[in-house]
């Protein structure tokens, strides 16, 4: 009975502190758990929903993985993403710092990339569930991480709550690292081949830019409107 009464009182207090239609309010005048802009709420909801989708798909992928190296990558990324999901949920609900900060994901593969292109069988849609392969699963995982990186970046650019914004922004490099780890796995197994341009063409493009040296002559602010 007391719990229900407290919940009702908290709800009434929150309603009283919310601005009336047409009225503005500073974030310091609002309870932490309500200091979210409407755009932020939609973006974070999308990020959390997408993360659930990634975790669910990783769990389904696990039943098909044959290669132990890929299985290790999947398990480590699943565990890290779960923790990342939990702290985003926490600070989104409270508006305050989560129980621990954003951790750093460290991949276990080397940065050695194999360049070149060799002929392979043309890709085509599967005709049977028996055709599920480590190549296909790792490709799907890479696609999911690329989408997550874009979504987290977009959400972090316009989040109004400083804690939520920090968690979103700090999560981006981790997802980028996961995507790169999957790229390296695919490259090492010749699933993701990396052709190069002719050396002469590549050199021309690389030398096509020069640093900005010297002190720029900046125009006066508002000069265009003084005439």
Over the range 197-224, which residues count as b (16 or more CB within 10 Å of their CB) and which as e?
A: eeeeeeeeeeeeeeeeeeeeeeeeeeee
Q: Using pLDDT thresholds of 50, 70 and 90, give the confidence band for residue 207.
A: very high
Q: How many CB atoms lie within 10 A of CB 153?
A: 15
Q: What average pLDDT does this structure show over 89-98? A: 87
Q: Which residues 6+ apart lie within 8 Å of 104 measured at CB?
A: 173, 174
Pairwise CA distance, residues 43 & 38, whole Å? 9
pLDDT, position 39: 67
State pLDDT tens for residues 10-62: 454 444 455 555 555 445 444 444 455 666 788 899 999 999 999 999 999 99
Class of domain 36-112+133-191: mainly alpha
Proportion of the chain above pLDDT 90, given as a percent:
62
Question: Which tokens sit at 223?
Answer: 């000069």
- For residue 58, how many other CB atoms are within 10 A of its CB? 20
Q: Which residues pair with 116 in a beta bridge?
A: 194
């Amino acid at each position: 009975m007391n719990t229900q009464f407290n919940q009702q009182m908290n709800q009434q207090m929150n309603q009283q502190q919310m601005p009336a239609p047409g009225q503005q309010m500073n974030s310091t005048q609002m309870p932490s758990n309500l200091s979210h802009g409407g755009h932020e709420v939609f973006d974070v909801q999308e990020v959390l929903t997408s993360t659930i989708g990634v975790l669910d798909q990783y769990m389904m992928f696990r039943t098909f993985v044959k290669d132990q190296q890929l299985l290790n990558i999947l398990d480590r990324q699943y565990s890290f993403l779960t923790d990342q999901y939990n702290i985003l949920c926490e600070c989104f609900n409270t508006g305050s710092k989560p129980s621990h900060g954003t951790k750093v994901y460290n991949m276990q593969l080397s940065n050695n990339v194999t360049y070149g292109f060799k002929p392979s069988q043309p890709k085509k849609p599967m005709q049977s569930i028996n055709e599920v392969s480590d190549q296909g699963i790792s490709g799907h995982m890479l696609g999911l991480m690329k989408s997550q990186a874009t979504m987290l970046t977009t959400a972090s650019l316009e989040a109004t709550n400083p804690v939520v914004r920090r968690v979103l922004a700090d999560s981006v490099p981790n997802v980028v690292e996961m995507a790169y780890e999957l790229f390296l796995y695919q490259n090492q197994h010749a699933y993701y081949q990396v052709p190069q341009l002719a050396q002469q063409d590549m050199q021309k493009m690389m030398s096509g830019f020069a640093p900005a040296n010297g002190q720029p002559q900046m125009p006066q602010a508002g000069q265009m409107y003084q005439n």
